[in-house]
């Protein structure tokens, strides 16, 4: 009897048919456990590409992506399923990414076309470049698995369901990116999502775009799968950390990431361009999941969601809000927590100012952030307490003084003032690494241990330094 229906997923026992009599007969015989309408699913790219760019993506600095490179994390060993429009056949050669053989779920299972995952519209290619291209990707070592479900802007939910099961059972993907959505809550769709989640896959989805010309009400309708609890729903922000005008705002939004004017590979493969849409915010979080899984292979989906929440940079209303969810993803802090790094200090550039994030693994432990300025001789000329408190924190729009030759930030224990971590930023050289210091200190600078006072008395510290504060912090290491 089921030979008259199209198989969607053998593992899940899901079939597709437009024969209502067959559905009624299966229901009468007790072989039909559930049914749902095969609704339409839409990609969430706006298609408003701009001129090609060659500069480094602004999103990397906003997210604190340098921490991953400093730790040697690339997403290696992690498979990321891209349920999308496929990939350019030469994507790996163009971008240096690792691409596994995927499947075309628009074609019959036993046909030659089943292995044709060529991207006809460019959406999947752009998404993939945000995840794993050498030029714009956050996880260049991750292995991409293209599961093609779109040849245009829309597809069917049965196709997406089949791809989700395949991503887990056939391709062993640890991360599934879904830059798509539907306004219909389909029970079979939710069953597939729950199945993948229980198998340990981290599911990331675009929160959804508003209709062109409409403005957010602050409580916009939800899209699925983003609204399912098992899925991380990602909203879009711009380079100024403002929620993009097209990004839906509702209680389903879990986290925000760059999604307006972000850099990616064009469909032609000849250039990089910018695009906008929550479609392009989701892969940034998918890349973060790949990096986190490399750092901690035992990381499960619930723990990843918790890490996203605890490490996020709060934005908008204090705490959770419908615009940013739990805040803007802070990739540096997320990975520091995943790695269990004690006293991690992440310094990133945001325009003309610095953004500082610190991670203290013990939630009840106090830490303090000190700013120390040094002359060209290495002598400390000033220090100030910027923050003191418990647990992870972020400071934004921090203007580092230019009157010193270099500045160092120290995360310290308030009780001992012993540095837990250190980050340095040279005045006027924020985007370039500082020159290596000479092998020998200059003649006029005595080689003294940090606890010894310098030859000349330092300038006075702030009027009320904390008790026990040192007159001198260690000179910053190169």
Query: For residue range 415-434, what is the model confidence (pLDDT) as tens digits?
Result: 555 555 555 543 333 333 33
CATH top-level class of 40-339: alpha beta
Q: Considering just the CA atoms, what is the radius of gyration of the chain in Å? A: 25
Give CA–CA dist 17/21, Å, rounded: 10
Query: In CATH terms, are 40-339 and 342-478 the same topology?
Result: no
Question: How far from 306 is each of 50, 315, 328, 337, CA to CA, in Å?
Answer: 35, 17, 14, 10
Query: Quick one: average pLDDT of 320-325?
Result: 96
Q: Which of 209, 205, 261 lies closest to 59, judged by CA?
A: 261
pLDDT the model gives residue 336 = 81
Give CA–CA dist 160/319, Å, rounded: 33
Instruction: Report the DSSP pairing between strands 231-237 and 202-206.
Output: parallel
For 80-142, give the DSSP string: EEEEES-B-TTHHHHH--EE---EETTS-TTSGGGG--B-SSSHHHHHHHHHH-TTT-S-TTS
342-478 to CATH, choices 1.10.3470, 1.10.1790, 2.60.40, 2.50.20: 2.60.40
Considering the chain, what is the average pLDDT of its residues?
79
Q: Is the pLDDT of residue 320 over 80?
A: yes
CB < 8 Å & 24+ apart, contacts of 394-398: 394/313, 394/314, 394/330, 394/333, 394/355, 394/356, 394/357, 394/358, 395/355, 395/356, 395/357, 395/369, 396/313, 396/350, 396/353, 396/355, 397/350, 397/353, 397/355, 398/353, 398/354, 398/355, 398/356
83 near 147, Cβ under 8 Å? Answer: yes
pLDDT the model gives residue 204 = 98
Q: Is the pLDDT of residue 62 over 80?
A: yes
Which comes out higher in pLDDT, residue 447 or 67? Answer: 67
287 near 130, Cβ under 8 Å? Answer: yes
Q: Is the pLDDT of residue 162 over 90?
A: yes
* Per-residue pLDDT tens over the stretch 365-407: 666 766 666 666 666 656 667 677 766 666 655 666 555 556 5
Query: Quick one: average pLDDT of 131-152?
Result: 93
Contacts of 364 (CB under 8 A, 6+ apart): 390, 391
Query: Quick one: average pLDDT of 253-269?
Result: 92
Query: Quick one: average pLDDT of 159-163?
Result: 95
Give CA–CA dist 162/84, Å, rounded: 13
Please tell me the pTM assigned to this model: 0.75
Which comes out higher in pLDDT, residue 147 or 315? Answer: 147
Give CA–CA dist 408/386, Å, rounded: 12
Lowest mean pLDDT among 130-139, 186-195, 267-276, 411-420: 411-420
% pLDDT > 90, the chain = 46
pLDDT the model gives residue 401 = 58
Catalytic residue among 279, 311, 357, 394: 279
pLDDT the model gives residue 101 = 95
* 185 in active site: no
DSSP code of residue 312: S
391 near 360, Cβ under 8 Å? Answer: yes
Q: Is the pLDDT of residue 453 over 90?
A: no
Catalytic residue among 123, 207, 233, 321: 123
Catalytic residue among 38, 84, 261, 341: 84
pLDDT the model gives residue 415 = 57
* 84 in active site: yes
Q: Is the pLDDT of residue 269 over 90?
A: no
* Per-residue pLDDT tens over the stretch 101-134: 999 999 988 889 999 999 999 999 999 999 998 8
* 190 in active site: no
Contacts of 302 (CB under 8 A, 6+ apart): none
Q: Is the pLDDT of residue 76 over 60?
A: yes
368 near 412, Cβ under 8 Å? Answer: yes
pLDDT the model gives residue 19 = 74
pLDDT the model gives residue 422 = 59
75-91 in b/e form (b: 16+ CB < 10 A) is beebbbbbbbbbbbeeb
Q: Which of 245, 237, 297 lies closest to 262, judged by CA?
A: 237
pLDDT the model gives residue 60 = 85
Q: Is the pLDDT of residue 460 over 90?
A: no
* Per-residue pLDDT tens over the stretch 208-222: 999 888 999 999 999
Query: Quick one: average pLDDT of 304-326?
Result: 91
Residue spans per domain, the chain: 1-35, 40-339, 342-478
How confident is residue 227, by pLDDT bands cut at 50, 70 and 90?
A: very high
């Amino acid at each position: 009897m089921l030979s008259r229906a199209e198989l969607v997923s053998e593992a899940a026992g899901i079939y597709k048919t437009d024969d209502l009599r067959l559905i009624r007969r299966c229901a009468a015989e007790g072989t039909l456990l559930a049914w749902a309408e095969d609704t339409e699913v839409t990609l969430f790219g706006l298609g408003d590409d701009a001129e090609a760019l060659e500069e480094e993506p602004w999103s990397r600095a906003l997210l604190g992506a340098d921490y991953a490179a400093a730790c040697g994390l690339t997403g290696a060993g992690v498979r990321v399923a891209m349920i999308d429009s496929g990939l350019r056949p030469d994507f790996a050669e163009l971008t240096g990414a690792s691409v596994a053989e995927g499947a075309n779920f628009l074609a019959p299972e036993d046909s030659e076309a089943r292995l044709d995952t060529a991207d006809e519209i460019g959406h999947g290619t752009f998404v993939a470049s945000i995840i794993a291209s050498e030029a714009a990707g956050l996880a260049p070592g991750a292995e991409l698995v293209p599961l093609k479900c779109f040849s245009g802007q829309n597809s069917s939910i049965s196709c997406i369901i089949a791809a989700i099961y395949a991503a887990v059972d056939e391709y062993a993907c640890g991360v599934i990116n879904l830059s798509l959505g539907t306004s219909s809550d389909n029970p079979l769709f939710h069953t597939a999502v729950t199945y993948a989640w229980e198998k340990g896959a981290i599911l990331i989805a675009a929160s959804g775009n508003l209709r062109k010309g409409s403005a957010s009400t602050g409580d916009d309708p939800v899209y699925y799968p983003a609204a399912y609890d098992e899925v991380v729903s990602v909203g879009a922000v711009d380079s100024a950390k403002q929620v993009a005008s097209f990004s839906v705002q509702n209680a389903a939004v879990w986290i925000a990431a760059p999604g307006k004017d972000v850099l990616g590979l064009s469909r032609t493969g000849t250039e990089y361009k910018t695009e906008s849409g929550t479609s392009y915010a989701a892969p940034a979080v998918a890349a973060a999941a790949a990096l986190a899984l490399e750092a901690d292979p035992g990381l499960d989906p619930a723990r990843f969601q918790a890490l996203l929440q605890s490490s996020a940079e709060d934005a908008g209303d204090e705490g959770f809000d419908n615009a940013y969810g739990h805040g803007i993803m802070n990739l540096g802090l997320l990975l520091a927590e995943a790695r269990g790094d004690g006293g991690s200090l992440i310094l990133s550039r945001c325009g003309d100012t610095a953004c500082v994030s610190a991670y203290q693994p013990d939630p009840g432990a106090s830490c303090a952030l000190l700013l120390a300025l040094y002359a060209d001789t290495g002598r400390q000329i000033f220090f100030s307490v910027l923050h003191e408190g418990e647990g992870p924190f972020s400071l934004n729009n921090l203007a580092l003084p230019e009157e010193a030759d270099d500045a160092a930030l120290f995360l310290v224990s308030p009780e001992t003032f012993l540095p837990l971590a250190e980050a340095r930023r040279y005045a006027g050289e924020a985007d370039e690494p500082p020159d290596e210091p000479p092998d020998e200190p200059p003649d006029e600078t005595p080689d003294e241990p940090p606890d010894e006072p310098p030859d000349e008395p330092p300038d006075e510290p702030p009027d009320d330094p904390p008790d026990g504060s040192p007159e001198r912090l260690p000179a910053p290491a190169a």
